[in-house]
């Protein structure tokens, strides 16, 4: 797919990929592994594709250029979905210089156990590709790996952004901008949330260069032909993002905690019908989808009955995922039924506070199934939280 006279997309669409990062991230539509070929006075390949597509990738690449004419390879990030085909490609062009970050040299050595002809680059380093054009490298450490970097092509004003601004969508599907933004948001929430401060600082640094981005070419998904749209979204998402949403996440053993969840939800809705309320049984959703809902929320409530002096293992899995996300400026509280002891809510309070949430002074427990008094308390809790959100 031609992007302009000099730049061609030479990636792979993988519509069969249903899970990414092991089981961590469902990709129901699949994804694309984006690689780009620049044909100026020099010929440059930016990134490769996932290992299992190496033969197809090399065959397609050959149709665009004799492999021997590739002067340089740029590797922006060492993860296998971008470097898997590299070693097979190098069998054809063994000593081609590979421009990458210092940390990426370490990553490539770790993955492939081979000495490669790597040339380390730092932020601001330039690689001349013609009399008129340079590639300028920008390290993006921890966005999302220590080795990550981006590459700016002057003249054409294209930012090759690696995982930043990506979406897990094969790009042979018709473009739907809402879907593109939603997939970009899901990826941001699950991959970049812990590094939001780093992103903001990096973007401020890039702004000082006064580059006029013509388009952004990410590592996965569609190219952004209107870069301002995704740059504004990333600015919002990295700045303690929330929508007017409260999310209730719960699991239940005999339905009591579920009754509390539904009545808290009714309480919120009765107080303010403009608030989006999502009441989600944890076991009905993939953890990554729940993280995305939490990312969009001003407040969350987590419900679990007490079992074996603690909360349910299904809830523990979600709590474990939340801990690493470093959410900030969000409220939380907990609720749940119990029979004999009732530690779950107290433990959830500790975990949520430890994870960076502002814990409400109100939570809710119910000895046995909720009676009419507990149902009233659940509705009252919902109203209290809706009011608190409105005040903020």
Q: What residues make contact with ligand FEO under the rule CB under 6 A?
A: 77, 79, 81-82, 144, 163, 219-220
Residue ranges of alpha helices (H) inside the chain are 54-64, 80-83, 86-92, 102-112, 177-187, 196-207, 227-237, 256-271, 287-296, 313-323, 344-354, 372-391
Geometric angle at alpha carbon 278, from 274 and 281, rounded to 5°: 165
Residue found under tokens 């109100």: 362
Closer residue to ligand FEO, CB minimum distance, 6 or 220: 220
| In the complex, minimum distance from the CB of residue 343 to ligand FEO, in angstroms, rounded to a whole number | 38
| In the complex, minimum distance from the CB of residue 220 to ligand FEO, in angstroms, rounded to a whole number | 6
Find, among 140, 131, 57, the residue nearest to 100 by Cα: 140
- Strand 126-128 with 134-139, pairing: antiparallel
CB 243 within 8 A of CB 292: no
CB 171 within 8 A of CB 227: no
Closer residue to ligand FEO, CB minimum distance, 31 or 257: 31
| In the complex, minimum distance from the CB of residue 80 to ligand FEO, in angstroms, rounded to a whole number | 8
The residue number with the shortest CB distance to ligand FEO is 79
Closer residue to ligand FEO, CB minimum distance, 198 or 280: 198
| In the complex, minimum distance from the CB of residue 87 to ligand FEO, in angstroms, rounded to a whole number | 17
CB 50 within 8 A of CB 33: yes
Closer residue to ligand FEO, CB minimum distance, 202 or 220: 220
| In the complex, minimum distance from the CB of residue 346 to ligand FEO, in angstroms, rounded to a whole number | 38
HSE of 296, CA atoms in CB hemisphere, 13 A? 20
Closer residue to ligand FEO, CB minimum distance, 21 or 122: 21
Closer residue to ligand FEO, CB minimum distance, 25 or 331: 25
Between CA 174 and CA 299 the distance in angstroms is: 35
Tell me, what DSSP letter sits at residue 81? H
| In the complex, minimum distance from the CB of residue 88 to ligand FEO, in angstroms, rounded to a whole number | 18
Find, among 372, 311, 379, the residue nearest to 341 by Cα: 311
Closer residue to ligand FEO, CB minimum distance, 81 or 251: 81
- Residue 40, SS3 per DSSP: coil
Closer residue to ligand FEO, CB minimum distance, 14 or 81: 81
CB neighbourhood size of 100 (10 A): 26
Closer residue to ligand FEO, CB minimum distance, 144 or 330: 144
Q: Which two tokens stand for residue 172?
A: 């042979």
Could you give the C-alpha distances from 117 to 87, 90, 109, 293, 389, in angstroms and in order? Answer: 12, 10, 11, 44, 56
| In the complex, minimum distance from the CB of residue 21 to ligand FEO, in angstroms, rounded to a whole number | 8
Closer residue to ligand FEO, CB minimum distance, 31 or 304: 31
| In the complex, minimum distance from the CB of residue 187 to ligand FEO, in angstroms, rounded to a whole number | 9
- Quick one: how far is CA 57 from the chain centroid? 25
| In the complex, minimum distance from the CB of residue 58 to ligand FEO, in angstroms, rounded to a whole number | 20
CB 96 within 8 A of CB 70: yes
Geometric angle at alpha carbon 39, from 37 and 45, rounded to 5°: 30
- Beta-carbon contacts of 177 under 8 Å, excluding residues fewer than 6 positions away, are none
| In the complex, minimum distance from the CB of residue 33 to ligand FEO, in angstroms, rounded to a whole number | 8
């Amino acid at each position: 797919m031609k992007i302009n006279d000099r730049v061609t997309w030479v990636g792979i669409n993988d519509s069969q990929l249903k899970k990414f990062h092991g089981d961590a991230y469902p990709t129901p539509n699949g994804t694309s592994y984006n690689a780009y070929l620049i044909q100026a006075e020099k010929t440059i390949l930016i990134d490769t594709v996932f290992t299992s597509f190496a033969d197809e990738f090399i065959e397609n690449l050959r149709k665009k250029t004799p492999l021997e004419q590739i002067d340089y390879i740029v590797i922006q990030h060492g993860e296998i979905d971008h470097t898997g085909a590299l070693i097979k490609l190098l069998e054809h062009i063994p000593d081609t210089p590979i421009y990458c970050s210092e940390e990426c040299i370490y990553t490539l050595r770790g993955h492939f156990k081979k000495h490669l002809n790597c040339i380390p680059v730092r932020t601001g380093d330039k690689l001349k590709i013609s009399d008129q054009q340079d590639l300028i490298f920008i390290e993006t450490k921890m966005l999302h790996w220590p080795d990550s970097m981006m590459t700016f092509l002057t003249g054409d004003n294209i930012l090759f952004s690696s995982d930043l601004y990506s979406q897990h969508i094969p790009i042979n599907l018709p473009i739907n901008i809402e879907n593109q933004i939603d997939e970009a948001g899901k990826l941001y929430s699950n991959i970049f949330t812990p590094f939001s401060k780093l992103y903001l600082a990096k973007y401020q640094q890039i702004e000082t260069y006064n580059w006029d981005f013509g388009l952004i070419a990410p590592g996965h998904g569609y190219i952004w032909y209107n870069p301002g749209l995704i740059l504004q979204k990333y600015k919002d998402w990295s700045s303690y993002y929330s929508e007017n949403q409260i999310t209730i996440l719960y699991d239940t053993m005999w339905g009591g905690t579920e009754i509390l969840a539904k009545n808290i939800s009714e309480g919120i809705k009765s107080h303010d019908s403009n608030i989006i309320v999502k009441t989600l049984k944890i076991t009905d959703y993939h953890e990554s989808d729940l993280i995305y809902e939490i990312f969009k929320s001003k407040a969350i409530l987590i419900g679990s009955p007490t079992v074996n002096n603690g909360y349910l293992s299904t809830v523990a899995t979600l709590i474990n995922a939340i801990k690493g996300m470093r959410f900030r400026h969000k409220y939380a509280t907990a609720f749940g039924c119990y029979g004999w002891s009732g530690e779950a809510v107290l433990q959830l309070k500790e975990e949520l506070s430890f994870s960076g949430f502002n814990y409400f002074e109100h939570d809710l427990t119910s000895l046995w199934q909720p009676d009419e008094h507990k149902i009233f308390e659940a509705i009252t809790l919902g109203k209290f939280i809706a009011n608190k959100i409105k005040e903020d």
